[in-house]
Chains A and B, each alone.
Chain A
Amino acid sequence: MTSLPESPCTKKLGLVIDLDICVGCHACAVNCKEWNASGHSAPMTDWNPYSGTEKRAGEDAGAWGIWFNRVHTFEVGEGADSRTVHFPRSCLHCETPACVTVCPTGASYKREEDGIVLVNSETCIGCKLCSWACPYGAREYDHSDGVMKKCTLCIDRIYNENLDEADRVPACVSTCPAGARHFGDLGDPSSEVSTLVKDRSGYDLMPELDYKPTNKYLPPRPKRDGNGEDGQPPLLATLAHEGQSNNDPTTEGVTGAMLRWVDIMLSR
């Protein structure tokens, strides 16, 4: 059914991605590929995987293939005030996804029971219109199968009773070494993810387009800029101060000497 569920989904499974914590290691993207290469939408075809073998004119060399999750790295602001933000991007499982309503075959659909947006690869004709309708670049085309593929929120993991309960989360969430990705029901205001979004002012991507994404992003925390009067970071200054005091054990031995040396070097 290409129309959206008649009553809005009460359960909204989705991800909360903490941009303050993400270190840009791409582990989520790699584990996503690893799991899904044999999962619901398998295979995740690669073309020209060893580069430089494409025959058709106009196709540039270089490996390319399907990934449901990709990590971009942005630099925000100028000069000393700038910061680097790693930005994982995948399907946001929108409440009003245009990728679903434009689909002429009904292959794209939004599940009423949990809000997950999926593609039925048995009925998709590969017209690619859904990829035009999606502002987030979540849908990719499989040249080998001739159909569109996308993030399934690891539907074959989260309901998989063969897995330990702790493992019933999307592959990207289970693998994140920094704990920057959270999975849960964003339709339940008391869920952990909803609380996180509330506490940290989680936000939508491109809210002006009004697709009402389920996934939320948590902004990087404000930069701490609390240098002391002499320009030293406060903690080091305190340590150095303590180091100068004879009563403090840190003045003793090698550690004290090290701290004094660091203090002198930083004070120059």
Chain B
Amino acid sequence: MNPAFSVIFFTSSSGAGYGLLVFAGLLTAMGAFPEGSHVIVCAVGLAMILITVGLLSSTAHLGRPERAWRALSQWRSSWLSHEGVLAIVTFLPTGLFFLGQFSLEQPLLRWLGWGPITAIMALLTVYSTGQIYASLKTIRQWCTIHVVPGYILIGLLGGGLVMSFIGSIFALPTDEVYWAIVLLAIVTGILKWDYWRNIDSGTASTTTNTATGLGTQNDRIRLLDAPTTSQNFVMREMGFRIARRHARKLRQISITTLFLIPTLGALCAPLIDSQISMIAITTMSLVSGSVGTVVERWLFFAEAKHVVTLYYGSEAA
């Protein structure tokens, strides 16, 4: 599949934003920070920026961005619509949660439930993002049990990295966040490793034989003449194969930057007294994790092979 940059940026940025909301919501509910803490104000504010920028960028790949609001209409049947509706509805508890940090006297706003509700809505939104891909039977590499947890865990990991960065700037101890990062990085790393093992070893049930209905199972079917001498829309959109050649190297880069470096950073940071070094470490982890997320998303698209390529010369998808 052709990796659309706007979609990669959207899922990476919004994913981290929603992860950040989960951290902010849960940490507040756990009483890790005093009410009205700068850390929570910054975290929720930044999360809203990350989410909004991501959502806006996702409209960039639309042919008719001015009609984007129509995507909310099929909330009963389409995962893309679920995602859109949940993303917008989530702004409500998030906004109240955010305002509650300033007006401690207002009973509605200072209700402690807004944090956890924000966290749950954020998780549901990322869940539907994952389902958009996981529900496509046409792409073996997406239609797996790894995809939805992958989107949620990487979003949480990104959120944790942003949270640890904010915490280090305010020089507040966020040991829970460091431990969460270590745990998330290990679990997500194992999940991705199993995902790659799975898509490498899996066999396609859809082949040129089932696509054309020609020959018996052992007959080779070769494309003699494609319908067009140039690249048509379907070949450009689904037949992307540039990054597949570098897949192994890119996987190593994403494992190192997304899982290894953040884990090391989160293990080292609590041992350091100097705030400057702490900020340096959390910044490095955040930058590394962001690069890793983008590489992971790029690979997620580039390694995905659509069954329609069987009509254009592939023998298995």
Q: Which A residues are closer than 8 A to B by beta carbons? A: 2-3, 19, 24, 26, 29, 51, 60-67, 70-78, 84-85, 87, 89, 98, 101-107, 123-129, 131-137, 140-143, 145-148, 203-210, 217, 219-220
Contacts and interface: CB of A to CB of B under 8 A. Distances in A.
Interface residues of B, number: 58
A129 B214 contact: no
Which of A76, A140, A204 has the most chain B CB atoms closer than 10 A to its own CB?
Answer: A76
Interface string B207-228: 0101111110001111111111
Interface stretch (B25-33, B256-264, B303-311): B303-311
A106 B63 contact: no
11 contacts: A3-B77, A60-B231, A64-B228, A76-B221, A87-B311, A102-B136, A105-B70, A105-B71, A135-B307, A137-B234, A140-B233
A85 B214 contact: yes
Interface of B: 1, 61-65, 67-68, 70-74, 76-81, 84, 132, 135-139, 205-206, 208, 210-215, 219-234, 237-238, 306-308, 311-312
B1 to A, nearest CB: 7
A125 B70 contact: yes
Contact of B219 (A60, A77, A148): A77
A72 B220 CA distance: 16
A73 B223 contact: yes
Contact of A206 (B78, B210, B226): B210
A31 to B, nearest CB: 15
A64 B233 CA distance: 8
Contact of B78 (A2, A123, A142, A210): A2
Contacts of B229: 62
A72 B225 CA distance: 6
A27 to B, nearest CB: 13
Contacts of B224: 73-75, 84
Given A3-B76, A105-B71, A105-B73, A135 B206 contact: yes
B54 to A, nearest CB: 15
Contacts of B63: 124-128, 141-143, 145-148
B73 A131 contact: no
The 5 A-B residue pairs with the shortest CB-CB distance in the complex, in nearest-first order: A126-B63, A146-B63, A62-B230, A70-B227, A73-B225
B71 A137 contact: no
A60 B230 contact: yes
A126 B62 contact: yes
Contacts of A104: 70-74, 78, 80-81, 84
Given A29-B227, A140-B232, A124 B64 contact: yes
B214 A133 contact: no
Contacts of B84: 104
A142 B64 CA distance: 11
Contacts of A146: 62-64
B220 A147 contact: no
B71 A67 contact: no
A126 B220 CA distance: 37
B281 to A, nearest CB: 38
A147 B64 contact: yes
Contacts of A73: 223-225
B211 A206 contact: yes
Which of B68, B73, B78 has the most chain A CB atoms closer than 10 A to its own CB?
Answer: B78
Nearest to A87: B212
A74 B222 contact: yes
